[in-house]
Amino acid sequence: MSWIAPTMFWLLLLVPAVLLLWFLKIRRIETVVASTVLWKRALQDERVRSPFQRLIRNLLLLLQLLAVILAVIALARPEFGTMRYSSRLNLILLDVSASMNSIESDGRKRFEEARSKALQIIDDIAGERGVLIRFGTRAEALTPVTSRMNLLIDAVRRQEASSGLTAFPEALELALSIAKQDAVVPAAAEENVPIDDEEEILPPQIDARIFIITDGAVPRWDGGPIPVPVIVESVGEVSSNSGIVALAARREFSDEGDLRVVVEIRNSGDDPISGELKLLLDGEIALATQQRTLEGGERWTRSFALEGAGSHRLEARWIPQGGDGLALDDRAWLVASTPRSIQVARVGAKNVLLDDALAVLPSVEVKQIENVDQIDPETAGDEFDVIVWDRVVPDRLPAGPGHLVIGARPKRFWPEEVPVVQQPLLVGWRRDDPVLRYSELGPIDGTVIEARPLPLVPGTTSLAECREGALIARFSAQDVRGIVVAFDVLDSPWPLTPSFPFFIDGALRDLARIGGGIETGIRSGDLIEVVAGAGVTEARLASPSQETETDVPVLPGGVLRIAAGDELGIYEMKWRAGDRGEELWQKRSIPVNLLSSSESSIEPRPAIGLAGSETQQGDLVWTQTRRELWSWFLMAALFLMLAEWIVFHRR
């Protein structure tokens, strides 16, 4: 038995006080009587008939003392059990993702039920140890491993559902990591018992179990078998919901720069849902309301053309009739802005095809430089956003601008000579990378006369690779970053295809960190990153409702980075250099959206994908190895007080 509040034992000083009161109480009042003869006989008679009367009188004192002692013990909060590793570890994973904001039929949030279940579990595991992990956009442990259930309860009560996605695999990885750290070393190893050569050395025993409180809208776990029992507490009943799952826009290739907007709405439930779609440009309705009835599971994609040159805030609003289960996915935002031109230095001999590709790109200003020596490493960062090295590259790349190296090898990352490969066959490329998003690399598959495929080394990642190495790769270090093409583009038909200028455009925008003027947004909890440039001294992030404004730390290079909050909408990052006036604030709007089919599918799924690991449903009967006992001691104290009262009045 251990004590949570042992300082309460100071209250045992009350025991002498009780004794003092007892002796004060029995100081007798003197009364004169005619004779004590009869009284003496009566007392003698009473003692003969009730030999326990004296005991009963002392019993009162005994009962009072026992009641005080038991009450003090109750205040000291005794626990039955041990703090040793034999106490089971309970990892409670609480889903706080956007789908947990669903409104149930009783009008309560789904997360309310999850919170109640978490509290119930904590009550059930009293006497054991636990740790609370929440998972929304990120997974984080909210408490240390503790046997103090109050810590867990307080942490659970503080939680609210977020508006982000479900980082379930990360949460499970974190839970397993904690469980493995908590593993018990086998007894044989503990006691230094010699182990025979043939005897198997047992792995550490994990005495833990994982509770997952979720509605089941979680990504599948592919991290292998889970070595501890997993108990899934499923919450939620409502499944009817519809919402915006995609919102995108791009500038039309026209002089006006009009916007082409695509909205996708999905009914993730089984029942038809009618609603209307509105598009608001800078808060004003841009298009007539679109009415639509969506059948169960139907996706509705609509494309709109808007006259929207310049900077605008666009909001898509889906208004289901009678509302639906989840309100978070009924609105989405994006920001269209006019991007600034990219300052590019092209270094190297004349290259008509490359120059033509650079010339057709909008918002790109190119400065031709023939010799490497003409680049001043000290000022290059201020002068250029990107330097394109065509078949030449200095030993030391200037810090600051991005680098697109074509037909050469940055020696900082690949100092050794790389063998030549004739007509390398393309194994694959990363189609989802922003650089290659609009590029089709078929033209370089087996058509490059000779290339020098680069092996992957620390600080490099492959964008397109052949069997011998990367044909296109990213490289980055603390002060330099860039993209390298491991062959001379003139040795391939690639510059003659539309894929090439798209690649150059994507690479320049990526390296210059300048988008296409459309901010489709990030998700709740993701990092907002703005490269504000050197000299920034102060930056703030305003929430969509403008209710909160947070100071943003300024990182080296004028990088502003902060996690978006739970509120969905358009955040505004503003910054300024030096202590200048308010009008010199520079601003950038960043939309934060949900836009997730999985979160919009709020239908509860009792079974979650755990790659073959077995799960159990909740409502188990737990073996209790650790209990707080104060309530029993308090009840015993009250019982003794009652007994004392009864004995006193029966005398």
Partner 1 sequence: MSESGDVSEPLLDEDFLARCSRLALISRSVVRGKLHGEKRSRRRGMSTEFADHRDYVSGDDLRHLDWNIYGRLEKLFIKLFEEEEERNVVLLLDASGSMNCGEPNKWRHARQVTAAIGAIALASGDRVHLRVFDKGLRPTIGSLRGTRSILRLIQVLDELESGEQTALFPSLRAHGASAPPRALQILISDLMDPDGIDEALRQISGSRGESWLIHLLSKTEQDPQHNGDLRLRDIEDGSYVDVSFTSAVLEAYQRVLAGFREDVRKACARYRIQPVEVTSDIPFDQVVLEMLRHRRLLG
Under the binding rule (CB under 8 A), the answer on residue 396 touching partner 1 is: no
Please identify, using beta-carbon distances, which residue of 63 and 126 lies nearer to partner 1: 63
Q: How many CB atoms lie within 10 A of CB 239?
A: 18
Please identify, using beta-carbon distances, which residue of 49 and 84 lies nearer to partner 1: 49
Range in contact with partner 1 (rule: CB under 8 A) among 27-35, 65-73, 185-193, 407-415: 27-35
Please identify, using beta-carbon distances, which residue of 64 and 214 lies nearer to partner 1: 64
Under the binding rule (CB under 8 A), the answer on residue 24 touching partner 1 is: no
Range in contact with partner 1 (rule: CB under 8 A) among 50-58, 276-284, 526-534, 569-577: 50-58
Binding mask 30-49 for partner 1 (x = CB under 8 A): xxxxxxxxxxxxxx-xx--x
Under the binding rule (CB under 8 A), the answer on residue 84 touching partner 1 is: no
Q: How far is the CB of 53 from partner 1 (least distance, A)?
A: 6
Please identify, using beta-carbon distances, which residue of 25 and 84 lies nearer to partner 1: 25
Q: How many CB atoms lie within 10 A of CB 540?
A: 17
Range in contact with partner 1 (rule: CB under 8 A) among 5-13, 25-33, 276-284, 507-515: 25-33
Q: How far is the CB of 37 from partner 1 (least distance, A)?
A: 5
- Can you name the residues that pair with 523 across neighbouring β-strands? 593
Range in contact with partner 1 (rule: CB under 8 A) among 22-30, 109-117, 163-171, 594-602: 22-30
- Using left for φ > 0, alpha for ψ between -120 and 50, and beta otherwise, residue 236 falls in left
Q: Enter the tokens of residue 163.
A: 């508006």
Site for partner 1 in 313-372 (CB under 8 A): none
Please identify, using beta-carbon distances, which residue of 64 and 543 lies nearer to partner 1: 64
| CA–CA dist 415, 624 (Å, integer) | 63
282-297: string of b/e by CB count within 10 Å (b at 16+)?
eeeebeeebebebeee
CB of 31 closer than 8 Å to CB of 108: no
Please identify, using beta-carbon distances, which residue of 27 and 84 lies nearer to partner 1: 27
Q: How far is the CB of 649 from partner 1 (least distance, A)?
A: 10
Helix pair 499-512, 352-360: axis angle to 10 deg: 70
How many residues contact partner 1, by CB under 8 A? 26
Please identify, using beta-carbon distances, which residue of 31 and 478 lies nearer to partner 1: 31
CB of 296 closer than 8 Å to CB of 239: no
Q: Enter the tokens of residue 13.
A: 């000083």
Please identify, using beta-carbon distances, which residue of 40 and 157 lies nearer to partner 1: 40
Cα 274–Cα 276–Cα 277 angle in degrees, nearest 5: 135
Under the binding rule (CB under 8 A), the answer on residue 57 touching partner 1 is: yes
Distances (CA, A) of 154 to 142, 340, 433, 628, 636: 10, 50, 43, 17, 29
Half-sphere exposure of 357 (CA within 13 A, CB side): 23
Q: How far is the CB of 51 from partner 1 (least distance, A)?
A: 11
Q: How far is the CB of 635 from partner 1 (least distance, A)?
A: 29
Q: How many CB atoms lie within 10 A of CB 44?
A: 10
Distances (CA, A) of 113 to 100, 106, 234: 9, 11, 10
Please identify, using beta-carbon distances, which residue of 31 and 254 lies nearer to partner 1: 31
Under the binding rule (CB under 8 A), the answer on residue 53 touching partner 1 is: yes
Which run of H or E residues covers position 320?
strand 312-320
Cα 188–Cα 192–Cα 193 angle in degrees, nearest 5: 60
Site for partner 1 in 591-650 (CB under 8 A): 650
Q: Enter the tokens of residue 158.
A: 């503080």
Q: How far is the CB of 27 from partner 1 (least distance, A)?
A: 8
Please identify, using beta-carbon distances, which residue of 84 and 650 lies nearer to partner 1: 650
Q: How far is the CB of 25 from partner 1 (least distance, A)?
A: 8
The answer for residues whose C-beta is within 8 angstroms of residue 11's C-beta and 6 or more apart is: 71, 72, 75
Q: How far is the CB of 40 from partner 1 (least distance, A)?
A: 5
Q: Enter the tokens of residue 582.
A: 């308010």
Tokens 């695999």, residue located: 169
From the list 1, 26, 349, 621, which residue makes contact with partner 1 (rule: CB under 8 A)? Answer: 26
The answer for residues whose C-beta is within 8 angstroms of residue 204's C-beta and 6 or more apart is: 180, 183, 184, 185, 186
Helical residues (DSSP H) of 401-447, grouped into ranges: none
Please identify, using beta-carbon distances, which residue of 42 and 611 lies nearer to partner 1: 42
From the list 24, 28, 106, 225, which residue makes contact with partner 1 (rule: CB under 8 A)? Answer: 28
Footprint of partner 1 on this chain (CB under 8 A)?
A: 25-26, 28-43, 45-46, 49-50, 53, 57, 650-651
